[in-house]
Structure 1
């Protein structure tokens, strides 16, 4: 009879742990996986000084030049016009 009590005593905490929901990512993290919001204050500036954290994937593109279209959500893309004005910063 003692084994049944022991099994029941162990089953309850395990059952409760299984019901716990996994932590969800915030909508902000999903919408900005590369951290592009940190650079929005530079939009409109000509030849801004941009410092990217070490290990952060990024690319610099010109609006009228071809670029690859693969989607890499963790990569920053800085889009400039011909005069060097920063037009946009996005995750791609």
Structure 2
């Protein structure tokens, strides 16, 4: 009888732990999915002529002119700055 009571007392926390709901997985930030290269940080430069651009070390980027050919491979981690012939920033995107 003592053995059964001891087992019941020891098993109670395990039984209660099995009843607690599992915590939901943490939400992934949608900004990193929608903006993997961080182009939103540079959106204030669109419309400016010859803006000063500072890109973090190690960040892939390119500056393309709208009237010149550009490779079309998609590298989501790369920043692409598109300027016109006068140096006006037309767009910033991840590609």
Scaled to the shorter chain, the TM-score interval is: 0.7 to 0.9
Q: 1:29 offset after TM fit, Å?
A: 1.4
Query: Match of 1:87, SS?
Result: strand
For 2:91 and 2:79, locate their aligned partners in 1 and report how far apart those are by CA, in whole Å. 10
User: What is the TM-score normalised by the length of structure 1?
Assistant: 0.76
The total of aligned residue pairs comes to 89
Correspondence for 1:29 among 18, 28, 32: 32
How high is the TM-score relative to the length of structure 2? 0.74
Instruction: Supply the RMSD in Å over aligned alpha carbons.
Output: 2.6
Q: What 5-or-longer segments of structure 2 have no aligned partner?
A: 1-6
Shift of 1:23: 3.7
Of structures 1 and 2, the larger Rg is shown by 2
